[in-house]
């Protein structure tokens, strides 16, 4: 070893198993070391890969996984890994990934074998799994969130418990008691293969059977829930959680193609990871007043930053933030109904814009509306719904969702109307479109029912899907609006910056990037008769109709993801620095990598706008900005 490398030897000499090693031996070890740097998130060792090194962490942190993908350990400075593979047959048994930027010293296998045979302390150390070491490492785990990286299949504890849907009430209850499950799957066994038909839960037995004193011989098919909400076996746990919260169900059958793999319950998720950031969401439902919600809402920016640091993609972050916003709204509606009494007629509370698209970030205002039952009589009912809308809107403002400057809120009487009026609005927008009016009603074409009679919102979605694709003039005007905002790219691919005002020398990633993209994707989606709201989902539907080429779709997807992620990171950085997050970016704050890829992404937006203009024959009008 070169004497000058004493720094490295001294570092290793602080940590077991090197701390007890004779100096000359340690010098020899250092002389054989190779140094390598891994960026946070990089896979260092893959399962089954050949490995001929023992790894020593000089700086950073590494996650060690089991073969199943389950987290096994988190280790840091001075820890070693790779030893189990070296002891077995030089293939990796525990995959490893850099959790932080990590510098490792790699010790060659020959040195490892030499140490193993000649240094008892070393051999003992690498052979035994030191429990206390493991425990101290796991205490650092709050940094990461397993919901983001673990699949729902991890929560399946047992094979699904099912019965034919011909069983009687009492028999179903008996099976559930015997098997100790809170939900029973009911199968249609008339065909060749049994098909999942419905589900019955403990709660159903309580509310539907016992309360109504049904006879024990009632066929279970009379009271089971049909039209099941299920989840793919490949989905992540956070998706399952959002799905349960979104649909207000507590059990989800997990499907592998047509086959049921098992059932997961909300309580499984809560039990699994009570420290998680998305635990915030379920916590929202335990708050009993606006004050409590406001307190929780202060954690939202942290949740956002944590997800960004965990390298979640923009779809995950957008749906998680929208899910959180939706949960605040739903809980406020529940609290409002408790305060004001049950609604006099059925209604549906709608989210609009980014929340409906599952593309929400932290900088956001509230866009919402109310659909009332057609039996609505203003003199009798409106006082209640105005009070409810005001309660929710004020509550949301308390929780950081600022009032909509365009007055697109359920507190505005124009946007608190019976279903038939809403149908009239949409029919008029689509069949007699006017450019100016459409510009303001754009946001209503991203809509999602989030509370009450969701069916009302579904009716509107169906109406839009049915009518929009047939109105060429509507599509043309909508396309023209989608061309109003151009990407900030000049001739010679330079960034075009805002010239005046507070945001001089910046460009706006939302106004010039994600918004034009979601606008143009919306036009194509409506032309295809799609009912999807999320931009990525809309692209999928557009792909099925062959309106765009596969390559163009891929480019649009990548461009949306890239611009969104740069925007998300920009906001996360601001939050971490204690600044107010915004969408205005200075080119010099971007890495050369980001700059170059952003230009590519904006070029995609620009090309897609050209195609839109051509496809819908939409010249930009005088009102272009």
Q: Does 36 bind another protein (CB under 8 A)?
A: yes
Q: State the DSSP code for 365.
A: B
Candidates 177-185, 195-203, 589-597, 613-621 — which segment interacts with another protein by CB under 8 A?
589-597
Applying CB under 8 A, among 12, 21, 30, 348 the residue interacting with another protein is 30
Q: Is 5 in the site for another protein (CB under 8 A)?
A: yes
Using CB under 8 A as the binding rule, whether residue 32 contacts another protein is answered as yes
Would you say 342 or 592 has its CB closer to another protein?
Answer: 592
Strands 71-76 and 102-108: unpaired
39 is a contact residue toward another protein (CB under 8 A): yes
For CA atoms 275, 279, 282, 287, the dihedral sign is positive
Decide: is 126 part of the binding site for another protein (CB under 8 A).
Answer: no
Q: What is the nearest approach in angstroms of another protein to the Cβ of residue 587?
A: 10
Residue 244: C-alpha distances to residues 317, 477, 502 (Å):
17, 38, 43
Nearer to another protein, 1 or 620 (CB): 1
Specify which residues 200 forms β-bridges with: 184
Residues 49-68, interacting with another protein (CB under 8 A) = 58-60
Interface segment toward another protein; rule CB under 8 A; list 1-9, 66-74, 152-160, 350-358: 1-9
Listed residue (536, 594, 156) closest to 316, CA to CA? 536
Q: How far is the CB of 595 from another protein (least distance, A)?
A: 8
Of 79, 113, 72, 114, residue with least CA distance to 95: 72
CB 490 within 8 A of CB 496: yes
Q: Which is nearer to another protein, 57 or 265 (CB)?
A: 57
Minimum separation from the CB atom of position 500 to another protein (A): 18
Q: Does 591 bind another protein (CB under 8 A)?
A: yes
Among 87, 91, 101, 230, binds another protein (CB under 8 A): 101
Q: How far is the CB of 389 from another protein (least distance, A)?
A: 41
CB 115, min distance to another protein, A: 16
Q: 41 or 69: whose CB is closer to another protein?
A: 41
**DSSP reduced 3-state for 147:** helix
Residue 102 or 476: which CB sits closer to another protein? 102
Write down the residue that tokens 């890969």 correspond to. Answer: 49
| Angstrom distance (rounded) from CA 18 to CA 204 | 62
Cα distance between residue 186 and residue 400, in whole Å: 44
Report residue 91: phi and psi, to 5°.
Answer: -120, 150
Please identify, among the stretches 385-393, 437-445, 507-515, 584-592, the one whose residues bind another protein according to the rule CB under 8 A.
Answer: 584-592
Position 592 contacts another protein (CB under 8 A): yes
Query: Between residues 6 and 138, which has the closer beta carbon with respect to another protein?
Result: 6
Contact pick of 503, 595, 599, 615 for another protein (by CB under 8 A): 595
* Contact call for residue 442 and another protein (CB under 8 A): no
Question: Least separation, in Å, of the C-beta of 10 and another protein?
Answer: 9
Minimum gap (Å) between residue 593 Cβ and another protein: 5
For the residues of 54-112, what is the DSSP string, one character each? EEEEEESEEEEE-TTS-EEEEEETT-EE-HHHHHTTSB-SS-EEESS-EEEEEEEHHHH
103 near another protein, judged by CB under 8 A: yes
Residue 8 lies near another protein (rule: CB under 8 A): yes
Binding of another protein by 100 (CB under 8 A): yes
Residue 596 contacts another protein per CB under 8 A: yes
Q: 361 with 317: CB under 8 angstroms?
A: yes
Q: What's the sign of the alpha-carbon dihedral 611, 617, 619, 621?
A: negative
Residue 197, phi-psi category: left (phi > 0), alpha (psi -120 to 50), beta (remainder):
alpha
Q: Which of 414, 353, 407, 335 is nearest to 382 (CA)?
A: 414
Indicate whether 14 belongs to the interface with another protein (CB under 8 A): no
Contact region with another protein (CB under 8 A), list: 39-47, 251-259, 392-400, 555-563: 39-47
For residue 333, the minimal CB distance to another protein (Å) is: 43
Tell which residue, 265, 249, 284, has the closest CA to residue 152.
Answer: 265
**Which of 19, 20, 34, 50 forms a contact with another protein (CB under 8 A)?**
34
Taking the CA atoms of the chain, what radius of gyration do you get in angstroms?
A: 29
CB of 98 to another protein, least distance (A): 10
User: What number of other Cβ atoms are within 10 A of residue 180's Cβ?
Assistant: 8
Burial track 578-602 (b if 16+ CB lie within 10 A, e otherwise):
eeebbbbbebeebeeebeebbbebb
Among 2, 128, 544, 625, contact with another protein (rule: CB under 8 A): 2
How many chain residues bind another protein (CB under 8 A)?
36
Q: Which two tokens stand for residue 499?
A: 């010239």
Q: Collapsing DSSP states into helix, strand and coil, what is residue 534?
A: coil
**CB distance 368 to 352 below 8 Å:** yes
Q: Which helix (H) or strand (E) holds 416?
A: strand 416-418
101 or 558: whose CB is closer to another protein? 101
Per CB under 8 A, 250 contacts another protein = no
Q: How far apart are CA 204 and CA 314, in angstroms?
A: 37
Measured from the CB atom, the residue of 342 and 578 that comes closer to another protein is 578
35 binds another protein (CB under 8 A): yes
Residue 21 burial (CB < 10 Å; 0-12/13-18/19+)? buried
Residues that bind another protein (CB under 8 A): 1-8, 11, 30-40, 42, 58-60, 100-103, 105-106, 588, 591-593, 595-596
């Amino acid at each position: 070893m070169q004497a000058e490398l004493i720094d490295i030897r001294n570092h290793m000499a602080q940590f077991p198993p090197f701390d007890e090693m004779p100096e000359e031996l340690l010098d020899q070890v250092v002389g054989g070391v190779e140094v390598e740097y891994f960026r946070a998130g990089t896979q260092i060792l893959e399962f089954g890969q050949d490995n001929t090194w023992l790894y020593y962490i000089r700086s950073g942190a590494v996650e060690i996984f089991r073969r199943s993908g389950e987290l096994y350990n988190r280790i840091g400075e001075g820890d070693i890994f790779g030893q189990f593979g070296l002891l077995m047959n030089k293939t990796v048994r525990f995959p490893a990934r850099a959790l932080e930027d990590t510098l490792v010293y790699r010790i060659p296998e020959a040195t490892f074998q030499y140490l193993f045979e000649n240094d008892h302390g070393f051999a003992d150390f690498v052979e035994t799994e030191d429990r206390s070491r493991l425990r101290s490492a796991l205490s650092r785990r709050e940094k990461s969130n397993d919901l983001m990286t673990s699949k729902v299949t991890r929560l399946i504890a047992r094979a699904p418990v099912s019965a034919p849907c011909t069983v009687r009430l009492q028999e179903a209850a008996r099976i559930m008691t015997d098997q100790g499950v809170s939900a029973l799957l009911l199968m249609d066994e008339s065909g060749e293969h049994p098909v999942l038909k419905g589900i019955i839960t403990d709660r159903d037995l309580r509310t539907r059977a016992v309360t109504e004193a049904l006879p024990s011989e009632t066929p279970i098919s009379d009271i089971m829930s049909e039209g099941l909400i299920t989840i793919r076996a490949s989905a992540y746990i956070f998706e399952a959680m959002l799905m349960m919260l979104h649909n207000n169900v507590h059990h989800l059958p997990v499907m592998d193609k047509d086959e049921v793999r098992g059932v997961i319950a909300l309580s499984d998720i809560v039990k699994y990871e009570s420290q998680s950031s998305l635990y915030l969401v379920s916590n929202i439902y335990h708050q009993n007043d606006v004050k409590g919600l406001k307190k929780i809402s202060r954690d939202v920016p942290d949740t956002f930053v944590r997800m960004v640091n965990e390298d979640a993609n923009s779809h995950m972050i957008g749906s998680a933030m929208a899910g959180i916003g939706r949960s605040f709204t739903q809980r406020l509606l529940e609290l409002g109904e408790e305060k004001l009494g049950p609604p006099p007629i059925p209604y549906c509370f709608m989210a609009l814009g980014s929340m409906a698209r599952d593309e929400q970030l932290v900088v956001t205002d509230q866009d919402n509306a109310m659909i009332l039952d057609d039996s609505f009589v203003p003199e009798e009912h409106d006082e209640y719904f105005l009070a409810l809308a005001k309660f929710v809107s004020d509550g949301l403002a308390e929780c950081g969702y600022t009032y909509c400057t365009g007055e697109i809120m359920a507190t505005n009487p124009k946007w608190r109307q019976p279903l038939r009026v809403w149908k009239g609005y949409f029919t008029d927008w689509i069949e007699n479109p006017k450019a100016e009016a459409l510009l303001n009603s754009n946001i209503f074409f991203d809509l999602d029912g989030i509370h009450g009679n969701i069916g009302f919102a579904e009716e509107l979605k169906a109406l839009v899907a049915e009518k929009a694709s047939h109105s060429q003039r509507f599509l043309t005007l909508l396309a023209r609006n989608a061309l109003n905002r151009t990407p900030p790219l000049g001739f010679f691919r330079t960034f075009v910056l805002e010239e005046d005002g507070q945001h001089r020398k910046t460009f706006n990633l939302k106004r010039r990037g994600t918004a034009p993209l979601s606008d143009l994707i919306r036009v194509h989606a409506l032309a295809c008769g799609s009912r999807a709201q999320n931009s990525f989902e809309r692209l999928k539907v557009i792909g099925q109709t062959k309106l765009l080429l596969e390559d163009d779709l891929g480019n649009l997807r990548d461009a949306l993801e890239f611009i969104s992620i740069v925007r998300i990171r920009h906001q996360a950085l601001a939050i971490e620095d204690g600044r107010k997050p915004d969408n205005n970016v200075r080119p010099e704050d971007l890495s050369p990598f980001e700059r170059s890829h952003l230009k590519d992404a904006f070029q995609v937006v620009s090309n897609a706008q050209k195609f839109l203009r051509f496809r819908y024959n939409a010249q930009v009008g005088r009102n272009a900005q």
